[in-house]
Amino acid sequence: MKVLVIGSGGREHALAWKLSKSNLVSEIFVAPGNGGTEMEKSIKNIDIDSNDINGLLGFAEQSNIDLTIVGPEDPLVSGITDKFQKNGLLCFGPSKDAARLEGSKEFMKNFLQRHKIPTAIYKTFTDSKKAIRYVKEKGCPIVIKADGLAAGKGVTVAFNIDQANEAINQSLNSHAFGDAGSKIVIEEFLEGEEASFIVLTDGNTVIPFASSQDHKARDDGDLGPNTGGMGAYSPAPVVTESVHKKILKEVINPTIEGLKSEGSDYCGFLYAGVMVDCNENIKVLEFNCRFGDPETQPIMMRLKTDLAELCLQACMKDLSNQDLDWDDRKSIGVVMASGGYPSDYEKGNIIEGISDESDDLKIFHAGTAYEEGNIKTNGGRVLCVTTLGESVLLAQKKAYDAISQIKWKNCFYRNDIGYRAIEREEN
């Protein structure tokens, strides 16, 4: 079958790469793709923006696409799945209505409250003075979130009043996140360790993927501003067997049932970002209505099951007999970024030293372009160097060995991806 993957990041490169391993797939197209997908022999880039729903629909119809897989959140929130389905095309991803779980943090928090799913105490504001007054009453640390989609950058953990006021003013008065920040959610700060828990669902059956952990902060030691993610590893040791069962029982299953009871059609990946405290209590931090980035990269390295078959069966509402097979090794992905990210950064710098890939090393491209025989930077997060190893420590060593060979002007990366898991391995 012919498959269309929508998106241009590392997640889409990883998904397309995994789809290329399927015996069910004859052709893979990525719209618009990146320099990495351009160089994959089995993948063809299509110059259509991921938010151009009519253009994507036209291409899918003209090319007889059998299955479309949507990577990023924006087209899902805009209703691409509904549009494709209305025109008789299989599209893997939740409906516009269901995608509100990610499209609006206020909607998500209210949904969690309605269905008694554990989450942090919160309040919503559009007025900066009232928001500042609320923070003064509650004290710090406290968390300020832009209500809408902000590419993972609309969240501030404020450890003092000045940081909180700056985040509030940035969103509500300076409009740093545009319409996405015209409303903010302020919630209590939660102690514990974060984990990414991603499932595949057809709206009835839920199939959990391997656990993972993202590193959202820009700098070593989880310092600096929030980003779209500076690296990830799988599995995440904080998700023990008991925590796994608890997340399914207290978060995932009630969410799917809640959506169903409210008439929302959910078919696709559901990502729950959760906080796990020292007593293994669970609270939901966020929902994403798609696979995480950079979690996709290490998870796809470990997945042995046919991804195309899984997505197809989900669209056919027939996941009940599907099981997942995993590589027992650990996987880690380290993001290499352009200097200045997550703020302003240069594009067009030539990337040198991308190493030869192997069965346990894959370099997934995100913000790259292939021009005149050169790979150039074309975004904030540029590459995700992803490896497999018998331990997280060994996987980490492989990743940083490969990274040491890769260079471009003002590139940077964290040096401690996977540190929590490594600490557990060493103790």
Q: In what order do the strands lie in the sheet with 67-70?
A: 43-45, 27-32, 2-7, 67-70, 91-92
Domains of the chain listed by start with CATH number: 2-93 (3.40.50.20), 127-182 (3.30.1490.20), 193-315 (3.30.470.20), 330-426 (3.90.600.10)
The tokens of 84 are what? 């494709």
The kind and range of the H/E element at 50 are: none
Give the mean pLDDT of 165-191: 92
Q: What pLDDT sits at residue 355?
A: 77
Q: What pLDDT sits at residue 152?
A: 67
Instruction: Please name the residue that has the structure tokens 């913000």.
Output: 367
| Average pLDDT of the residues of the chain | 95
Number of CB atoms found within 10 A of residue 322's CB? 16
Q: What pLDDT sits at residue 267?
A: 93
pLDDT at residue 154 greater than cutoff 90: no
Q: What pLDDT sits at residue 115?
A: 97
Residue pair 157/221 in contact (Cβ under 8 Å)? The answer is no
Q: Model confidence over 236-289: pLDDT tens digits?
A: 999 999 999 999 999 999 999 999 999 987 899 999 999 999 999 999 999 999
Percentage of the chain modeled with pLDDT above 70: 100
Q: Which of these ranges, 3-12, 101-110, 152-161, 359-368, has the smallest mean pLDDT?
A: 152-161
**End-to-end CA distance of the chain, in Å?**
48
Give the mean pLDDT of 122-139: 94
Question: Does the reported pTM lie above 0.85?
Answer: yes
Residue pair 287/270 in contact (Cβ under 8 Å)? The answer is yes
Which residues, 6 or more positions from 128, have their beta carbon under 8 angstroms from its beta carbon?
168, 169, 172, 173
Output the CA–CA distances (angstroms, integers) from residue 346 to 74, 295, 336, 340, 382, in the order listed: 24, 25, 14, 8, 11
Confidence band (pLDDT; 50, 70, 90) for 339?
very high
Residues 390, 233, 333, 176, Cα dihedral to 10°: -170
Give the mean pLDDT of 364-390: 96
Q: Is residue 241 classed as helix, strand or coil in its secondary structure? A: helix
pLDDT at residue 151 greater than cutoff 80: no
Alpha-carbon span 377 to 132, nearest angstrom: 39
Find the length of the chain: 427
Q: What pLDDT sits at residue 315?
A: 94
Q: What pLDDT sits at residue 90?
A: 97
Q: What pLDDT sits at residue 31?
A: 98
Residue pair 241/166 in contact (Cβ under 8 Å)? The answer is no
Q: Model confidence over 24-73: pLDDT tens digits?
A: 999 999 999 999 999 999 999 999 999 999 999 999 999 999 999 999 99
Confidence band (pLDDT; 50, 70, 90) for 153?
confident
pLDDT at residue 176 greater than cutoff 90: no
Nearest to 312 by CA among 17, 23, 8, 9: 23
Instruction: Please name the residue that has the structure tokens 């590392």.
Output: 10
